[in-house]
Chain A
Amino acid sequence: MFKRLVEILAVSAACVAAFPAAAQEPLKIGMVLEMSGGFADFGMQMMNGARAYMKVHGDTVAGRKVQLIVKDTTGVPDVAKRVAQELVTNDKVDFLAGFGLTPSALAVASLATEAKKPMIVMNAATSIITTRSPYIARVSFTLPQVTAPLATWALRNGITRAYTLVADYGPGIDAETQFKKTFTASGGQIVGDVRTPMRNPEFAPFLQRIKDARPQAVFVFLPAGEQAVGFMKGFAERELDKAGIKLIATGDVTEDGVIEAMGDAPLGVVTTQHYSVAHDSAQNRIFLKAYAEVSGSSQRANFMAVGAWDGMAAIYEVARRLNGAIDGDKAMEILKGMKIDSPRGPVTIDPATRDPIETIYVRRVERLKDGKLYNVEFDQFTNVKDPTR
């Protein structure tokens, strides 16, 4: 028994001696994601987006093997905070990343400050997130950033009377406030607004209210997925389009991953956002191919997967510039002003706000030759910043 133990110790010692510890310690990325519950799709998209990046760019950077540690928030902020704590203290991660939902990101912000861990927000889109910790950088988008261009576009295209409908939580209120501000500043008129509860299986009464108000257009923000599908179905069923009411929305509503579940309802809907799978670029083709291979399903990638891909690009770049020795403060200096060649087009992380500066596209839902629905880009606003900051 004793002899066996000595042997094991000797072998372990030899291993430690043979490989210098610093070079072999993996680069750990703690992914705080919604992997189960109503937003499980967010987590799947982002995990696969990150894995797709590693597949194309290799799983080693600056001599360190990259290790993704995925933890499930179940969509609950308290759980997000707990798993992030575990990632920092037990797994000793180098980066915190992920964050599909705003409440999860907000819950973890103070932890990032305390632990001085760079926190890469790959999706959550409420404006205030980056103000909550100097260690947060965002590679996705903010709602005011995509909403302001939509209000401008609507006015340019003859829409002057609009109704707003948003989900009643942080991003929804951000979107509503920004739309009203930009729209009324240039002479538009808001004829009514409604905030719908987050747990809301029934849009019919809200839709009827809008129909009775007879606006030229209704502006909508709802989180991608279930609510967006429910709304689109109701919109078509209640024939608001036939009553002459146009639907304009943030890209979340006609998000690439769920749009097929909506039937013909979203045809012709105009949205603004930073990414569409139909975006024509070499980077995007590489991304989509890798995503399809990694996910192994027919489900399409969406903007969340792109956010994760770009977040990984940022992490790889930081690791290269620091030669693998990650330090929170130095990492943040590198992230500020970083340029990313993203599948959506070029993105710069604003050194002042640590939020992305990027092109916002105006898109229309069309059925393309493969018989599937796509958000086809037809206009754009370049170098858009979050207008509230």
Chain B
Amino acid sequence: MLTSFLGVLFDGLAYGMLLFLISVGLSVTLGLMNFINLAHGAFGMLGGYVCVMALQNWGLPFFVMLPAVFLTSALAGLVLERVLYRYLYRRSHLDQVLATIGLTFMSIAAATYFFGPLQQPLQVPKFLSGQVSVLGVDLNIYRGFLLAVGVALTIVLTLALERTRFGASVRASVDKPRVAEGLGIRVGLVFQITFAVGCGLAGLGGALGVQVLGLDPAFPLKFIVYFLLVVAVGGTSSLKGPLYAALLLGVIDVAGKYYVPQIGAFIIYAMMIVLLVIRPHGLVSRQ
């Protein structure tokens, strides 16, 4: 009884961490830049394909691929920011939604054209697959790895935003762009880098998620609900909000499916409604 509960808790936390990993990029662009990028999943998908293709064709080690995936997606974000996104910063949210959802559909069509509609195979390294038994609880190694990556990433991002000069520039540029500009902060450049980092994180999340979520051209639309869920429930004012939201939703989703499988798939949505009624501005909101 207790061991099965611990197993469910572990799986739930790992699943929640995965939700956080694929959503954190969105909370960077949405929360920090107040820009609604519904094409977030397209960058996640790009990361996934880059990772799968490189592993298949060149046999590069998985760990080398992860930073490479981050950089590729960030670069793609940088290019798109210059040619498309920066013209949308000052437009209404509706314009942003329409433009980026269009981009999402284009990315789906492009992925189908280049890679076909099929699921892509991904073999994670041997030492990351399988299970270990800890105190009678079977723990999945890859899920443990996801948890570790999530924790590390949260620490790095929090430190970067709150303790570095660049983080301060980002916050200043978001809150009062004109004053920041006056103080000599290059707001355009700051946004450009922030956006690229958001896209890079999306790609990284996509690549890490392939093993659990699968990868096909429908990826950006299939998981858009989860990105938005995490960011909406968590709130966009800090990284902590989406992290707590993702972990909570992950545990509830897994526990629901394990203990009451008849209605398990709906529990995550019911929970979202409850949380949004209690805290309409998100779990962690700006005062």
Residues of B within 8 A of A205 (CB): 8, 11, 253-258, 261, 264
Residues of A within 8 A of B138 (CB): 211, 238-239
Interface centre among A196, A200, A209 (most CB of B within 10 A): A209
B119 at the interface (CB under 8 A from A): yes
Cα-based distance from A212 to B5 in the complex (angstroms): 12
Interface size of B in residues (CB-CB distance below 8 Å)? 38
B195 at the interface (CB under 8 A from A): no
8 A Cβ contacts from B246-287 to A: 253-258, 261-262, 264-265
Interface size of A in residues (CB-CB distance below 8 Å)? 38
A229 at the interface (CB under 8 A from B): yes
Interface window among B94-102, B185-193, B210-218, B227-235: B210-218
Known: A201-B213, A262-B121, A263-B123. A208 touches B116 (CB 8 A): no
- Give a binary string over A240-257; 1 marks a CB under 8 Å from any B CB, 0 the rest: 000000000000000001
Q: Which residue of A lies closest to B117 (CB)?
A: A40
- Give a binary string over A171-204; 1 marks a CB under 8 Å from any B CB, 0 the rest: 0000000000000000000000011110111101
B183 at the interface (CB under 8 A from A): no
Residues of A within 8 A of B4 (CB): 208, 212
A237 at the interface (CB under 8 A from B): yes
Residues of B within 8 A of A225 (CB): 118-119
A88 at the interface (CB under 8 A from B): no
Residues of B within 8 A of A199 (CB): 222, 265
Interface centre among A44, A208, A211, A238 (most CB of B within 10 A): A208
The reply to whether A44 and B117 contact each other, CB–CB distance below 8 Å, is yes
Cα-based distance from A38 to B217 in the complex (angstroms): 8
Known: A239-B130, A261-B121. A204 touches B261 (CB 8 A): no
The reply to whether B218 and A258 contact each other, CB–CB distance below 8 Å, is no
The reply to whether B15 and A37 contact each other, CB–CB distance below 8 Å, is no
A381 at the interface (CB under 8 A from B): no
Cα-based distance from A225 to B257 in the complex (angstroms): 22
Known: A237-B140, A237-B142, A239-B130. A208 touches B11 (CB 8 A): yes
The reply to whether A261 and B120 contact each other, CB–CB distance below 8 Å, is yes
Residues of A within 8 A of B261 (CB): 194-196, 205-206, 209
Q: Which residue of B lies closest to A202 (CB)?
A: B15
B95 CB to nearest chain A CB (Å): 26
B55 CB to nearest chain A CB (Å): 12
Q: Which residue of B lies closest to A242 (CB)?
A: B131
Known: A239-B130, A261-B119, A299-B118. A206 touches B140 (CB 8 A): no
The reply to whether B257 and A257 contact each other, CB–CB distance below 8 Å, is no
Partner of B15, one of A196, A204, A299: A204
Partner of A226, one of B15, B119, B142, B212: B119
A41 at the interface (CB under 8 A from B): yes
B34 at the interface (CB under 8 A from A): no
The reply to whether A202 and B212 contact each other, CB–CB distance below 8 Å, is yes
Cα-based distance from A195 to B260 in the complex (angstroms): 11
Interface centre among B117, B120, B131, B257 (most CB of A within 10 A): B117
B89 at the interface (CB under 8 A from A): no
A229 CB to nearest chain B CB (Å): 5
Cα-based distance from A239 to B265 in the complex (angstroms): 24
Known: A41-B117, A225-B119, A263-B123. A237 touches B214 (CB 8 A): no
A36 at the interface (CB under 8 A from B): yes
A68 CB to nearest chain B CB (Å): 19
The reply to whether A201 and B257 contact each other, CB–CB distance below 8 Å, is no
Cα-based distance from A237 to B11 in the complex (angstroms): 12
Partner of B214, one of A36, A201, A239, A260: A201
A302 CB to nearest chain B CB (Å): 11
Residues of B within 8 A of A274 (CB): none
B177 at the interface (CB under 8 A from A): no
A328 at the interface (CB under 8 A from B): no
A233 at the interface (CB under 8 A from B): yes
B99 CB to nearest chain A CB (Å): 21
The reply to whether A226 and B121 contact each other, CB–CB distance below 8 Å, is no
- Give a binary string over B103-142; 1 marks a CB under 8 Å from any A CB, 0 the rest: 0000000001000111111010000011100000010101
Per CB-CB distance, the 6 closest pairs between chain A and chain B, nearest first, are: A40-B117, A205-B257, A197-B265, A261-B121, A205-B258, A41-B117
State the B residues within 8 Å of A (CB).
4, 7-8, 11, 15, 112, 116-121, 123, 129-131, 138, 140, 142, 211-214, 216-218, 222-223, 253-258, 261-262, 264-265
Excluding A199-B265, A257-B118, A299-B118, 19 further A-B contacts by CB distance (< 8 Å) are A36-B112, A38-B218, A197-B264, A199-B222, A200-B265, A201-B212, A204-B254, A205-B253, A206-B258, A208-B11, A209-B261, A212-B4, A226-B214, A230-B214, A233-B211, A237-B131, A239-B131, A262-B121, A297-B116
